[in-house]
Structure 1
Amino acid sequence: MHANELSNNTTKIIDRLIEYGEITGPFVGESGSKPEQWDNFIEFKKNATEQELVLLIQHPHPVIKCYSFDLLVRKQNKNTFEILKSSLTDSSAVYTQYGCIGDKTQVNDYFIRSVLGFGPKNEYITDKQNKILDSLILFQPNIISEYKNSLLETIEPKKENYNRIRNIALNGNKFAVIGLAKYQKIDDFKLIDTLLHHEYYSIQEFGLRAVKNYPDKVFWNSIKNIHLKQIKKSGSFNYRLIKELYQALVQYKNPESRELLDLTLNQATKSAMKYHKEYIWVALKKYPDKIYDGIIEKMNYSEYELNNLEYEWDL
């Protein structure tokens, strides 16, 4: 891209967008004040031509790329899909601030959400193109993306995809192990069990998420060991691990799994009990089975507490 292809006015607005350095909504912070960047964006929207926006996709600053792509999506630009495809390997970081929530994402993930998750539906992205997009993101090895990880975790276990997903898992992608578990092949036992035995709880969590898809007896001792350690803890709780622990455990739907729930209610430390009860409740609401009848009643929640849980978890 060449700067002389942009109007002077657009160039000045770009300089202000870069100086602020983040993408924002119309309100930021606890007070909900309007940031200067929102005014800059509105000016950018009013002044930049569609031709300039297409050129600015090649701009070196991620904020300019993302704002330009957002506007092209809003304008229903016919080149949206090709622009998105050509940007899938762009993993450069971009910072966002919406209300009180600040975050860091990647340009490719921002582009994907701009098309699939935010704003008006772009009529140039057809269902067929969506499928092409998902396939490119999933199986092009040089694409690093949170959306790719989400696809790997939620992918349907089609026979023709097994080898490719397994290769991604073998290359260290933990989300691919979760997707791979849906095939329920004993050949993949080691990949899952390695995660369950990892020294870090944040990695064990992925193993438990895989077990939700493959609740085989070969993982039972690993589940029991994780469970015992967690109910004995009196602090430094890993809430995500506990949540995934019970959602994996209740997939077994057998007397042994019920015994572990009873063990929690009888032996969890006083400081841990609150969290274990809540995550047992979540697991049983999401994955009910008659073998667990009576467990929720044993937790002695009041009607007020149950209403709060249902509101918080939207279950």
Structure 2
Amino acid sequence: MKHLATIIIVALTFNCFGQQFQFDKTKISSQTKAIVTKIEKENRLMGSIVGNGGIRPKQFDNFTELQKVATNGELQELTNHPNGVVRCYSFWALTYDTSVNLLPIIIKHIPDDEKVSTMFGCIVSSEKVGDFFISLATPQYVDLDSKKLTPNEFNYLDSLLIYTPNKLYAKENAINRARLSEASYERVRELVLKENNQSALVTLAKFKRKQDIQLILNNEMTGERYGKLFFTYKAISEFPDNAFLPLLERSLYEAIDKGASSTDWRELYKAIASFKNDAALQLLKVPFTQTKHENIRQYHIDFIFAAVHDFYAPVYDELLWAMWESEKKINTKVFKLLYPKNPDKAFLLTKKTIQNADDFYYFNTGSYSEDEEKPVNLLAVMLDTVLVRDRPYAIEQINKNIREINVHQFPTFADKALKLGDTSFVSALFDRLKTEDNAHIYLKATEVLIALKDKEINKRIVEVAKINPALRKDWGGKEFAKLLKDNGIE
């Protein structure tokens, strides 16, 4: 009750005073004012490294100077400065002082929705000042050296964002994280009805209440970034009730009739897959044979694979087998799911995948198990699988791919060749080295050959370098020469 009363008071304060920050310039020294003027003139929030060249911008030097010169009191006053970039840098500087209570400053700036231009790395964008404050203080996010809010403070801030009027992006994140309770149900439903808040619609669906079905069905959103049913589909994914199936079926047939892809499709297929039953399976099969425009068929296939991956159920095994065999769609999670269910069938498809490794890469770039901390090299796993059951075939395919495979997959086959130490790989590596002009490939091939620690092989590397001029050109040529020198090869 105490927290709720505080939230009501804060809400009333926002409504009464709006986004007006009282700045007292008399509290700022002339030295600090000079730095603030430079920050204002540049008027862009920038990180320590920007642009393709990775340079340190003068604006970041201004920021570090502000940190050194301004007192704690000045920095707190500068969070009220009329310029949004100055407010951001002043708060950023305060986050390096562990004695500062950040939460009251953040709360004060919940209505601070002025957009500032930003540049971090190569990304030029814009962000609301209040959002930047919250991002800095969010645990395990943005500058990890900055002081962060405690879990209790963060939960309290989420409540304020949900219950007080504001236009921050952080409000949407808070709604997405809202704990399911009767109080939060009433609030998110209110946000849907009064503000047409789309994040609230998705959270409302998590309660899975029949009384909200019509509200979800009636939902439409207008905007350029997402289609009008994007969040409707996301809500259905949280609440897969049969009442939504007619809408999903209509949407599916409209989608396969179109000649251009849509941002809605990814969520449409997830909504269908969330049902995890035969009705969903039959709908998911439709685009494979009935898509009217072949040039966008692959978009549908990719979205279906992702949807089944995210909402896996055994009922989808049939579809996953077909997608691996006919559409060349496979990733680590699906491989581990299917292999134990039919090892012989999976083994044959694994051999086929290795035989067409180029297709495997281009059809599955970015497809990895979300359950893992980092992507697993599925091709290496497949090679090990085939090596156990059919070593001669695996050796043959490694040799073939060393000679032919694309730059992205080459390291996998080269590393496997080195690990196995089979002498037949030497010939394949030299065949590639004689004609290759891609530095990433010929440097890797050379590393593997040198790692074999054979003097005769080293002599052959020197001879090949005389034949292939690409080994002496540009940055790759310099790295190649260094590689030989570092290993005493002349």
* Pairwise same-fold verdict (TM > 0.5): yes
Indicate yes or no: 2:287 matched with 1:230.
no
Change in 2 beyond 3 A, CA 1:227/1:250: same
- Deviation of 1:64 after TM superposition, in Å, equals 0.7
Indicate yes or no: 2:114 matched with 1:89.
no
What residue identity is the alignment partner of 1:308?
T
Indicate yes or no: 2:266 matched with 1:209.
no
| 1:178/1:209 contact within 8 Å kept | yes
Give the whole-Å Cα distance in 2 for the aligned partners of 1:38 and 1:196. 43
| 1:27/1:98 contact within 8 Å kept | yes
Q: Which one of 87, 97, 120 corresponds to residue 98 of structure 1?
A: 120
State the SS of the aligned residue for 1:104.
strand
Indicate yes or no: 2:126 matched with 1:128.
no
Indicate yes or no: 2:285 matched with 1:262.
yes
Give the whole-Å Cα distance in 2 for the aligned partners of 1:46 and 1:109. 25
Give the whole-Å Cα distance in 1 for the aligned partners of 2:45 and 2:258. 41
What residue identity is the alignment partner of 1:286?
D
What residue identity is the alignment partner of 2:71?
T
Indicate yes or no: 2:212 matched with 1:188.
yes
Q: Which residue of 1 aligns with 2:313?
A: 289
Instruction: List runs of 5+ in structure 1 lacking aligned partners.
Output: none
- Deviation of 1:123 after TM superposition, in Å, equals 6.1
What residue identity is the alignment partner of 2:44?
E
Q: Which residue of 2 aligns with 1:14?
A: 36
What residue identity is the alignment partner of 2:366?
L
Shifted more, 271-280 versus 1-10: the winner is 1-10
| 1:198/1:204 contact within 8 Å kept | no
Indicate yes or no: 2:302 matched with 1:278.
yes
What residue identity is the alignment partner of 1:20?
E
What residue identity is the alignment partner of 2:316?
Y
Shifted more, 250-259 versus 190-199: the winner is 190-199
| 1:74/1:119 contact within 8 Å kept | no
| 1:28/1:99 contact within 8 Å kept | yes
Change in 2 beyond 3 A, CA 1:304/1:124: closer
Larger Cα-atom Rg:
2
Give the whole-Å Cα distance in 1 for the aligned partners of 2:221 and 2:131. 31
Output the TM-score relative to the length of structure 1: 0.91
Instruction: List runs of 5+ in structure 2 lacking aligned partners.
Output: 1-22, 329-358, 376-490
Map Cα deviations across residues 171-194 of structure 1 (whole Å, 9 max, x no partner). 111111110011111221222112
Q: Aligned pairs, how many?
A: 312
- Deviation of 1:147 after TM superposition, in Å, equals 1.3
Indicate yes or no: 2:270 matched with 1:247.
yes
Give the whole-Å Cα distance in 2 for the aligned partners of 1:26 and 1:119. 11
Give the whole-Å Cα distance in 2 for the aligned partners of 1:273 and 1:22. 43
Shifted more, 33-42 versus 222-231: the winner is 33-42
Map Cα deviations across residues 227-284 of structure 1 (whole Å, 9 max, x no partner). 111112112x22x311111111111112121111111111122111111111111111
| 2:51/2:122 contact within 8 Å kept | yes
> RMSD in angstroms over aligned alpha carbons?
2.3
State the SS of the aligned residue for 1:71.
helix
Alignment of 1:299-314 (within 5 A): 299=323, 300-301=327-328, 302-305=359-362, 307-311=364-368
Map Cα deviations across residues 101-153 of structure 1 (whole Å, 9 max, x no partner). 1121111111110100223476673322222111111111x122111112223
Q: Which residue of 2 aligns with 1:64?
A: 86
Change in 2 beyond 3 A, CA 1:94/1:170: same
Q: Which one of 128, 132, 136 corresponds to residue 114 of structure 1?
A: 136
- Deviation of 1:2 after TM superposition, in Å, equals 2.5
- Deviation of 1:51 after TM superposition, in Å, equals 1.3
Shifted more, 53-62 versus 304-313: the winner is 304-313
Change in 2 beyond 3 A, CA 1:64/1:277: same
- Deviation of 1:305 after TM superposition, in Å, equals 4.3
Q: Which one of 33, 39, 45 corresponds to residue 67 of structure 2?
A: 45
Map Cα deviations across residues 208-243 of structure 1 (whole Å, 9 max, x no partner). 0100111111111111111111112112x22x3111
Give the whole-Å Cα distance in 2 for the aligned partners of 1:183 and 1:16. 51
State the SS of the aligned residue for 1:119.
coil
- Deviation of 1:199 after TM superposition, in Å, equals 10
- Deviation of 1:157 after TM superposition, in Å, equals 2.1
Map Cα deviations across residues 7-36 of structure 1 (whole Å, 9 max, x no partner). 222111111111111101122222323322
- Deviation of 1:92 after TM superposition, in Å, equals 1.2
Q: Which one of 40, 46, 50 corresponds to residue 28 of structure 1?
A: 50
- Deviation of 1:203 after TM superposition, in Å, equals 2.3
- Deviation of 1:307 after TM superposition, in Å, equals 4.9
Give the whole-Å Cα distance in 1 for the aligned partners of 2:237 and 2:113. 30
State the SS of the aligned residue for 1:131.
helix
- Deviation of 1:167 after TM superposition, in Å, equals 0.6
Percent of pairs identical after alignment? 27
State the SS of the aligned residue for 1:156.
coil
- Deviation of 1:48 after TM superposition, in Å, equals 1.5
Change in 2 beyond 3 A, CA 1:279/1:203: same
Map Cα deviations across residues 15-66 of structure 1 (whole Å, 9 max, x no partner). 1111111101122222323322122212222211111101101101110111
Q: Which residue of 2 aligns with 1:152?
A: 175
Q: Which residue of 2 aligns with 1:221?
A: 246
What residue identity is the alignment partner of 1:54?
Q
What residue identity is the alignment partner of 1:208?
Y
Map Cα deviations across residues 70-114 of structure 1 (whole Å, 9 max, x no partner). 111111243211111111111111221112211211111111101
Give the whole-Å Cα distance in 1 for the aligned partners of 2:221 and 2:75. 49
Q: Which residue of 1 aligns with 2:161?
A: 137
